[in-house]
Structure 1
Amino acid sequence: MFETLIRGGTVVNADGLSRGDIGIVEGRVALIAPGESAEARTVVDASGSFLLPGLVDAHAHLREPGLTHKEDFSSGTHAAALGGVTTVLDMPTDEPWTATSEQLADKMAIAEGRLHVDVGLQAVVSRDLALVPHLLDLAPVSFELFTADVPEAFLFETLDSVAEALKAFADADTLIGISPGDQSILTGSMARDRSGTIAAFLDSRPPLAEAGGIARALVAAASAEARIHVRQINSELGVETWSRLRGMADASIETTPQNLLFTAQDYGAQGANLKASPPLRSPHDIDALRAALGAGLIDIVATDHAPHAPAEKAAPYPAFADIPGGLPGLQTLLPTMLRLVDEGLIALPDLVRMCSRNPAERFGLGRRKGRIAVGYDADLLVLDPRQSTTIANADQVSRAGYTPFDGWTVKARLTNVFLRGREIVRQGRLVGPAQGKIVTRER
C-alpha cells in the first residue's frame, strides 16, 4: 500500500510529458503508472493538472546568520515553499561569510528544525586556500569564487589568482561558481564618473566586464581541469562569448527571471526595488538573452533571491550604486517561468530542465532531486492550467515585503506542493510544521 497516491495528472520531466499516477512510499516515488488502482492512505486527485518535480533554485541568499533583519531560514524557505521551490541552494555571503568548516557546520546547526524546504549550503573560496580540504569534508553543494566587488579576503581579480584558486580543487568532486565581474573595469569606471547616477552604475558593470569574466573563468577552468558554473549572464556580448567558448571546459551557466523580463528602462518605474548586480541591460541585450534561452544555450535559471528590509531599500543614498543590491525571487520563480511558457519562448519540459533537473545534477543532488522518477525524492508540484495566478505584493512572505512582478498574471495555478512525499503547501498556504533538511553533495 502506498502512503500517498497522486492520480490523474500529466507528469512533466525535462525529456517530455507522460500520463501517470504517482505512488509514494517513505518519501520517495515508488511507482509511476497510468490508471493505478492500488490502495493508499492518502489519495490526491490531480485530474487535468500537470505534475512537476519541485524546483531547485541554485542561487539564493537566505541571509542567515547575521543578516536576519533581511531574511532568515524560516522566512526564506516559507517563500520558497509557496513558490514551488523545494530545494534552495544558499549562497555563503552572510555575516560572517561561510569560509571555514566551522562556519559551515555552525550554519548547518542553525538551520536545523527551521526549514520549510530542503536547503543545500555553498561555501566561499577565500584567499586562504588551506581551508578548502576541511570544507570539502562537509560536502557543501558547491563553492563560490568572486572576481569583483567583494571584500579583499575573497577577491580573485586576476587570471592568475583565479587559476591558482581552481587548482585547489584539482582532485575534488565539486563545483565552483564564478561571478563574471571585472574589478579593473569597476575601479576604472568609478574613477571616471562619480555622478552617482543610474548611468554611472550601468557603466561600472558593462557587458565588456561580463564577457571578459566569462572568458577568464572558462580559460582558467580548462587549465585547472575544474568544474565551474558561471553566474548570471545577461548581455549579448556575454551570450556570444559563452556560445563560442563554452566547450573549452566543464562549465554551465545561469541567468535569472529579472534578466529575462526587465530592461534598464524599468529603473525609471521601480528604481531601488530593481537595483542589483549585474545591472539590467538594454532591450537589444535582453532579446539576445531570450534567444539564447529558447535555443537551449542557458543551462539554469535561478533567482539570486537577495532580499533587504524595506527600510533599507527606501532610504536615501548618495549614489544609485550605494543602494543595497538584490531583490526577492524565491516565491516568484515558478510564475515568472510560466510567463515565458505563456509567451511561447519555452515549454514546460524546458522549465523543468532549467529549474529542476539541471541544477540538481550540476550541484551534486542529481540522484535524488530534479526529476519525477522511481527512487527519487517525492518533491512534487501540482499545477492546474485551468486556473490563473496573479502575483501580488500582499501575498509575499519574504521579509523584503514586495515583488517587482506585482500585478503580473500567468495561466496556471500551483495548488499543492509535496516535499519528500509530505504535503507542505495547499492552495497557497503552508500545511504542517517545518520539514525541510540540509542536503549535501552526493559523493
Structure 2
Amino acid sequence: MFDTLIRGGMLVNADGLSRGDIGIAAGKVAAVVAPGEAAEAGTVIDASGCFLLPGLVDAHAHLRDPGLTHKEDFSSGTHAAALGGVTTVLDMPTDAPWTATSEQLADKMAIAQGRIHADVGLQAVVSRDLSLIPRLLDHAPVSFELFTADVPDAFLFATLDSVAEALKAFAGADTLIGISPGDQSILAGSSARDRSGSIASFLDSRPPLAEANGIARALVAAASTEARIHVRQINSELGVETWSRLRGMADASVETTPQNLFFTAQDYETQGANLKASPPLRSPHDVDALRAALSAGLIDIVATDHAPHAPAEKAALYAAFADTPGGMPGLQTLLATMLRLVDEGLIALPELVRMCARNPAERFGLGRRKGRIAAGYDADLLILDPRRCSTVANAAQISRAGYTPFDGWTVKARLTNVFLHGREIVRDGRLVGPAQGKIVTRER
C-alpha cells in the first residue's frame, strides 16, 4: 500500500514523456505503475490532464544566511523556491563569513536545520589556504567554488598557475569545483582607465573577452589536473564559442541563467539597478548566440544565481551605477522563465527537466536521489496544469528583494502542487505545512 498515489498525469523526465501513476511511500517514489492499474493508497490525487515533473534543482543560489539576513535567509529563500517548484537549492558560500572552513560549513548546516522549506545543499569556497580542503571534504559539500576575479584576495585565483594549483589539491576527491570565469587583469585595467562608474564602464570592465579567458583557463587547468569542474554563468557569443571548442578537454559542465536568456544591456535603461549583476547583461547578438547554444544542447544547466538585496539597497541614490549592489532574485521564477522558453518553442519539457533537474542533480552529487521520476528517487514532484495560465507578479514574490525582473510575464501553464519527500508543501500558490526541508550532502 502506498502513502500517496498520483494518478492520470503525464510524466516528464529528461529522456521524454510517459504515462504512469506514481506510488509514494516513506518519502520516495516507491513505484511507477501502469495508468489505472489497481493500487491501494492512503491518499489518491487525480492529476488527469497535467504534467508531472521532478522537483527542480537550482545549482546556483545565494540564500544570504548567515550574516546577510536583511537580504534573505534560509526560511524566506526556500519559501520562494518552493513556490517556484525548486525543491533543492544549492547554496553558494559567499555569506558573512564566507564558508571557507569545516567549522563554518558545520555552523551553516546547523543554522539551516528546521528552517528550510526545500532541501538545501551547501557549497564551500576555495580559499588561498588549500590546507583547509581535506576537512571540508569530510563534510561532503555538494561542491566547492573557486573565483578568478572580483573577490577578496583571500579567495582570488587570478592566474592559470594558481587555478591549477588549487585544482591539484582535490586530487582523488570525488567532488565538483565550480569556477566563475573572469579575468582580474582586464577588470583592474578597465577600472583604472575609467573611474566614472557608469553603466558603460561597468560593461567595459567585464567584457566577453574576460569571460572567454576565464573559461579557457578553467578548462586547461582542469585538463591538466583531471579535476571535475562546472563553469558558471556563460553569457556571451565569445564565451559560447570558447566553451564549444574546448569543452571536450576536461570533465566539465556549464550553466547559464534565465536573465541572460531574456534580457540585454539595453534593458538597463528601463529596469536599471534591478537588473545589475555580474557578469553583466550583453548585446542582443550575445543573447541570440546563447539561446542557439541552449537549443543545440550545448548548455548543461540553467540556474538562477538568486542573489537578492534589500529593496532599500537597490533603491538608494548611489554616486554611480558601479556602486549599486549586484544581484537579483530568481528562485521563485525559475520554472516560469523556463516555461516561457517552452512556450516560445526554444526547448521542450524534457529539456527543461534535463537542465533544471537531472543534470544539476547528477553533476552536484545528488543523482541517485534527485532529478528524475523513478522508483527509489525522492518523491520531489511538481504537478503542472497546461490548461491554466499563470502570471508572474511582484506582489506575489516572497524573497526579501520584493520584486522580480519578470514582473507581468505570463506562461501557458500553472504550477498547482509541489511535493517534497512525498509531502505536499505547496498547493495553488501557497505554502502548506511547516518547514520540512533537509540538508543534503554529496553522495559518496
Asked if TM exceeds 0.5, the reply is yes
For residue 113 of structure 1, report the CA deviation from its aligned partner. 0.3
1:287 equivalenced with 2:288 (yes/no): yes
The whole-number CA distance in structure 2 between the counterparts of 1:197 and 1:150 is 20
Aligned length: 443
- Separation in structure 2 between the aligned mates of residue 5 and residue 196 of structure 1, nearest angstrom: 57
Q: Which string of whole-angstrom CA distances, capped at 9 and with x for unpartnered residues, describes residues 143-201 of structure 1?
A: 00000000010000011100000000011000000000110000000111112110100
Structure-2 residue corresponding to 1:231:
232
- Aligned partner of 2:25 in structure 1 is 25
The equivalent of 2:250 in structure 1 is: 249
> CA shift at 1:319, angstroms?
1.8
The corresponding residue for 2:10 is 10
Determine the structure 2 residue equivalent to 1:379: 380
Query: Within the alignment, does 1:67 sit opposite 2:68 as a pair?
Result: yes
Residue 436 of structure 1 aligns with which residue? 437
What is the CA–CA distance in structure 1 between the aligned matches of 2:80 and 2:38, rounded to whole Å?
35
Q: Please, which runs of 5 or more residues in structure 1 have no aligned partner?
A: none
Per the alignment, in what secondary structure is the counterpart of residue 370 of structure 1? Answer: coil
**Aligned residue runs from structure 1 range 302-341, under 5 A:** 302-341=303-342
Paired position in structure 1 for 2:178 = 177
What is the match of residue 45 of structure 1? 46
Counterpart mapping for 1:69-108 below 5 A: 69-108=70-109
> 2:273 maps to what in 1?
272
Deviations 1:111-151 (A, max 9, x none): 00001010000000000000000000000000000000000
- Separation in structure 1 between the aligned mates of residue 113 and residue 30 of structure 2, nearest angstrom: 27
- C-alpha displacement of 1:39: 1.3
Query: Could you tell me which amino acid in structure 2 is paired with residue 212 of structure 1?
Result: N
* CA distance in structure 2 between the partners assigned to 1:151 and 1:384 by the alignment: 46
Q: Distance in 1 between matches of 2:426 and 2:38?
A: 25
- 2:192 paired with 1:191: yes
Deviates more, 1:76-85 or 1:29-38: 29-38
Task: Give how far 1:306 is off.
Answer: 0.2
Q: How far apart are the structure 2 equivalents of 1:260 and 1:302?
A: 11
The answer for unaligned runs of 5 or more in structure 2 is: none
Q: Secondary structure at the match of 1:157?
A: coil
Partner Cα distance (1:298, 1:407) in 2: 27
Cα deviation 1:66-88 (Å, max 9, x = unaligned): 00000000000000000000000
Aligned letter for 1:161?
S
Q: TM-score, normalised by structure 2?
A: 0.99
**Structure 2 CA distance, aligned partners of 1:207 and 1:361?**
29
| Structure 1 partner of 2:168 | 167
Q: CA deviation at 1:36?
A: 2.7
Q: Partner of 2:261 in structure 1?
A: 260
1:55-104: per-residue Cα shift (whole Å, max 9, x none)? 00000000000000000000000000000000000000000000000000
Give the letter for the 1:397 counterpart. Answer: I
Give the distance between the partners of 1:369 and 1:31, measured in 2 at CA. 15
1:166, 1:39 → 2: CA distance?
Answer: 52
Report Cα offsets for 1:216-251 as digits up to 9, x if no partner: 000000001100000000000000000000000000
Q: Deviations over 1:276-317 (max 9, x none)?
A: 000000000000000000000000000000000000000111
